[in-house]
Chains A and B, each alone.
Chain A
Amino acid sequence: MASFTWALQGATPTTIDATDKIQFAGATFGSPITVGSYNDSTHVESSVGANDSSGNTPNNVKFISQSGGTSGDSQADWGDGTEDIDAITNAEATLKINFSHTSAVTTTNAIFYAYNGTTPATAPTDIDVRAFEVGDTNFTEIEGSGKALTLNDDTASTSHDYYIGVSASPASVGEKTAFAFRIELTYS
């Protein structure tokens, strides 16, 4: 039996249910991000609008540059200043996605991306979304399945963890609702 568990990391992890939203915001829950800027906070918003990550001090990874770091590395700030993203650790990443199975299975072809919530190949509307797996040197713009972030293959195990940093920026004014995340992988 296969199952996924998503969590927004922080002082205490917040489980992200399938019908929740990963909310990218300004300084606080529900506050807007200026057009062209990136998130200053990240939250889990329930399907009824509650702040599920309140009190858990959730991590926030903010995109700084695509290639301004050492040897062209991307840069981000997860709360302790600008750094190359390959210096960000598992615990500092935005998301921990666990895939578990009752049998020890190998995982391959794992990808992670954002889309408009309806058609996986279609980018979210008016949002720049970038992500990396811990250890990567550069962000990937993950807008639609054709631009997915490739995740590492894993050897046989009953539990597989993916640590992902993700940052978003609005390209226009207004709440962005055509916005979903998806992970896919092969196991055998």
Chain B
Amino acid sequence: MKSIKWQVALSNGQQMLEDNDFVSDVESSAWQKLLKYVQENDLEITSLSLLTSDNRTFNLPSGGKRPRFKAFYDVEKPIGFNFGHHIGYDVKDNSGEKHEELFVFIEAIYPNYRLQLWVDENNSGNCWCLVNTSTEVK
């Protein structure tokens, strides 16, 4: 059972939640379906969050135009957003250790860097932030 889902706000005001609005299937992942919808309707993602099944929300800086606090007006706005899972798998002679690690990440893209927020899918209480100076988005 998936325990962490993405949630986006779009430039037309729509809110989209993984598995509610787009569902993964053998043809495509929910995220790929969202990207296709955004492209076909000439929209932009204006915010991206992760929601856990125990009601935690992890938010990236928003590209929205109506933040509640001045501090949110004053900071640089992301020019894009991205989402993915990152998986690591080891072959090693030690049965007492984990051999697979799975994280979900969301990222806010800026002109000269990307701000990433990673959450451990096996323990959604663990979260890390990274600043990646590579601007190449995959």
Contact = CB atoms under 8 A, between A and B. Distances in A.
Given A4-B100, A188-B84, A18 B29 contact: no
B92 A109 contact: no
A183 B89 contact: yes
Nearest to B90: A182
Interface in A129-188: 153, 156, 158, 177, 180-188
A37 interface: no
Contacts of A181: 90-92
Contacts of B90: 18, 180-182
- Most B CB within 10 A of own CB, among A18, A22, A156, A180: A18
B9 to A, nearest CB: 19
Contacts of A21: 91, 93
Contact of A2 (B25, B27, B102): B102
Given A184-B87, A187-B84, A188-B85, A104 B92 contact: no
A102 interface: yes
Nearest to A45: B93
Contacts of A32: none
Contacts of A117: 92-94
Contacts of B87: 2, 4, 99, 184-185, 187
Interface of A: 2, 4, 6, 16-22, 47, 99, 101-106, 108-109, 117, 120, 153, 156, 158, 177, 180-188
22 contacts: A2-B85, A2-B102, A4-B100, A16-B91, A19-B92, A19-B93, A19-B99, A103-B24, A103-B28, A104-B29, A105-B32, A108-B84, A117-B92, A117-B94, A181-B90, A184-B86, A184-B89, A187-B29, A187-B84, A187-B85, A188-B31, A188-B32
